[in-house]
Amino acid sequence: MTRQQKADAISEILESLYPEIPVPLDHTDPYTLLVAVLLSAQCTDERVNQVTPHLFARANRPEDMVHLSVEEIREIIKPCGLSPTKSKAIFNLSHILLDKYDGQVPQDMALLEELPGVGHKTASVVMSQAFDVPAFPVDTHIHRLAYRWTLSTGKSVEKTEKDLKKVFPESTWNRRHLQIIFFGREYCPARGHNPYECPICRKYGRRKIFDEFDRAEAARQRNKQKAKKK
């Protein structure tokens, strides 16, 4: 089976499981999405959605955010982790949006990537989910699954993005990346994953993940036998 055939088959599975895909991060406009995505770095979407209502109750526009101090922002977003860096980024990018873009989030990938704390992945999410521009944001979860499914070599996140863009039609990028995220959380987690039970891995998984699972399972059985003998 070619990589393209495998991608087509995986697409069918994802479409059947997730015909409707909600955006994971709660937001009301491009600015609140931008802030939420920035906060999600090394933090769960669930935690971000718990924190952002408190932040946005104080400031949900750049013109309000700049009237908070970096220390006030940091105190609110502390549960998301990396709060010293993130609070400075939110404060500074809010100033830039006011100074350069009349308080609006630019609908341009390159301009987004120039903002403090905004990398390629964050910019891709905003372009995709706020402006409905085709993009394929690749986080560590999508990177892991693309490798497991042999859709990419796993050499880098950048390589994975290029590989996935080749095998999935551009018109599906915005929904496909979300479907993969939801699938990973429900069926294909980083830990405790059984490839024999996974709806995609059991059919299209890399041989290596089965070998690793088999070795781990054999070790567990040996440990059980040792424990019984004691």
Q: Which positions are annotated as active-site residues? A: 121, 139
Tell me whether residue 226 is exposed, middle or buried, using C-beta atoms within 10 angstroms of its C-beta: 0 to 12, 13 to 18, 19 or more. exposed
DSSP letter (8 states) at residue 130: T
- Number of helices (H), then strands (E), in the chain: 13, 0
189 CB contacts (<8 Å, ≥6 apart)?
A: none
Backbone angles phi, psi at 203, to 5 degrees: -105, -40
CB-based contact 25:45 (threshold 8 Å): yes
Place of tokens 């718990």: 50
Q: How many CA atoms, within 13 angstroms, populate the side-chain half-sphere of residue 99?
A: 8
Q: Which residue, among 133, 138, 173, 141, has the nearest Cα to 158 in the 3D structure?
A: 138
Structure tokens at 88: 């400075």
Most distant CA atoms of the chain, gap in Å: 73
